[in-house]
Structure 1
Amino acid sequence: MKKSELYKDIFKEASNIAMSHALTSLSQMIGGPIEMEAPDVEIVSRAEFLKLLAERGVSKGFTVMFDVTEGLSGLTILQFPKHSALNISAVLMGMEPGSMEELDEMGKSAIMEVGNILISAYTDILSNLIGEPVSLSPPKPAESLYDIEKELGRPDLRNVNSIVVFKSKFYKEDIGVESYFYLVPTPESFTKLVKKLEKQISEEVEANDEGN
């Protein structure tokens, strides 16, 4: 198995507990049972990352940025594509899914409540992976792809070329909501994260060898 696949497996293992907590909180907020898929994880290049953001629509959906202030360093981004943003805001505001055509300030505020739950889950995942607390700054709005590109021009992010992408999807009855969480770590933080993953892989290999 390739290391990239092993990394994905470890990310998914770390996400199980955090996402189960998120599922409980989302069910309470939205009202009624919901189902959530395990996050899909991939590591992409800077160019692929910008392409994904553009395809999913920064300005038409709901996108916010956070600086990583503890544990790691860099930038994180939470994105709901337009269709998902409209669906979840309609449900939270007691409206029929599909009845909203544009996202107003009240809708954005409603989505941010869901976003806070998911952000908490993702920071828990990262904390589990590195064995340290991970904290984020207050959110910064991203109104366009340019806002994100401007952040990537910061001295600490200028040479970043490895971005971790988490995709999660949850359902309430026949309504599906997709969200994307991007971790844009500084090169030093990416190295730190990879070393932690490598250590976990080595420990798992040793445990398997001892079991055999």
Structure 2
Amino acid sequence: MKLNEWYKDIFREASNIAMSHALTSLSEMVGGPIEMEPPDVEVLSRVEFLKTLAQNGISKSFVVAFDITEGLNGITVLQFPTRSAINLSAALMGMDPSGMEELDEMGKSAITEVGNILISVYTDILAKLLGGAGLPEPPPKPISSLYDIEKELNRPDLRNVDKIMLFKTRFYEENIGFESFFYLVPDETSFEKLVKRLEAR
């Protein structure tokens, strides 16, 4: 599905609001100021979603998924490409990322916590546009392959979904940069409600 620029601007505005709140939380975790580029927003088809995950290196990324309920219903997926995940974990732990080639368990735990916070803020802001509250349902689900994603998409509530929102942005902490890909996979009813509420703003 390709949206015209008017619709993309609406989703971009909502994403900017959500990301501004998330940025505050992330800055507090890192212990210093973080800047970001304006989010790039797309609405992908099911096939495009899987293709984008693959192109961004799902098997070499740090990827977690969370169920969401209330206000919005579906799943959210947060993907940090490997280098971005290493840079972010180094920033969180006050380390130099230049000598780090992979995430250890402590780094994975830190990134998972960041994912939980970012997704919580994103979904809460978007859900409030629907007049409710949408929060991730713990625990997070590690994703290591497209098969893991396809299992989620084959759930009864998501089986017919063909509209996935992608929010892509880059963050900067001093000279360290990292990017994230945040995918919102709402069920059909949630997507329609979200579009109608955004149109009315």
How far is 1:120 from its partner?
A: 2.5
CA contact (8 A) 1:36 1:171 kept: yes
C-alpha displacement at 1:58, in angstroms?
Answer: 2.0
Q: Give, as a single letter, the amino acid of the residue that structure 2 aligns with 1:105.
A: E
**Which structure has the larger Rg?**
1
Written as runs of structure 1 = structure 2, the 5 A alignment for 1:95-174 is 95-138=95-138, 139-174=140-175
**1:70 CA drift (Å):** 1.0
Percent of aligned pairs sharing the same letter: 70
Tell me the amino acid that sits aligned with residue 69 of structure 1.
T
Q: TM-score, normalised by structure 1?
A: 0.86
Question: Could you list the runs of 5+ residues in structure 1 that have no partner in the other structure?
Answer: 201-212
Mapped partners of 1:46, 1:17: distance in 2: 26
Q: How many residues get paired? A: 199
Contact kept in structure 1, 2:75 and 2:185, CA below 8 Å: yes
Per the TM alignment, residue 169 of structure 1 is displaced from its structure 2 partner at its CA by 1.5
Q: Is the 8 A contact 1:14 1:128 kept in 2?
A: no
Distance 1:116 1:151 in 2: 18
Which is further off, 138-147 or 123-132? 123-132
Give the residue type in structure 1 aligned to 2:82.
Answer: K
Matches within 5 A, 1:160-199: 160-199=161-200
Rounded to whole Å, the distance in 1 between the matches of 2:129 and 2:11 is: 7
Counterpart in 2 of 1:12?
12
Q: Deviations over 1:67-103 (max 9, x none)?
A: 1211122111111111101111122223212321112
Matches within 5 A, 1:40-55: 40-55=40-55
Q: Which amino acid aligns with 1:12?
A: R
Q: Residues 151 and 17 (structure 1 numbering): CA distance in 2 closer, same or farther, change over 3 Å?
A: closer
Matches of 1:149 and 1:3 in 2, distance apart?
24
- Amino acid paired to 2:120: S
SS of equivalent to 1:148: helix
- Following the alignment from structure 1 to structure 2, what is the Cα–Cα distance between the partners of residues 28 and 190? 31
The answer to whether the Cα contact below 8 Å between 2:3 and 2:43 also exists between their aligned partners in 1 is: no
Residues 11 and 129 in structure 1, CA contact (< 8 A), matched pair in contact too: no
User: How far 1:124 moved relative to its partner?
Assistant: 2.9
**Residues 87 and 136 of structure 1, relative CA distance in 2, 3 Å threshold:** same
Unaligned runs of 5+ in 2: none
The equivalent of 1:72 in structure 2 is 72
For the aligned residue pairs, the C-alpha RMSD in angstroms reads 1.8
- SS of aligned partner of 1:171: strand
Partners of 1:26 and 1:114 within 8 A in 2: yes
Distance 1:114 1:38 in 2: 19
CA drift of 1:3 comes to 5.9
- Once residues 161 and 3 of structure 1 are traced to their aligned partners in structure 2, the CA distance between those partners, rounded to angstroms, is 13
2:64 and 2:46 map into 1 onto residues whose CA distance is 18
Structure 2: distance between partners of 1:177 and 1:14: 22
Distance in 2, Cα, partners of 1:194 & 1:181: 18
Looking at structure 2, the residues matched to 22 and 98 of structure 1 have their Cα atoms a distance apart, in angstroms, of 26
Any idea what SS the aligned residue of 2:167 has? strand
Does structure 1 retain, via aligned residues, the 8 Å contact 2:21–2:121?
Answer: yes
Change in Cα spacing, 1:192 to 1:9, as seen in structure 2 (3 Å) is same
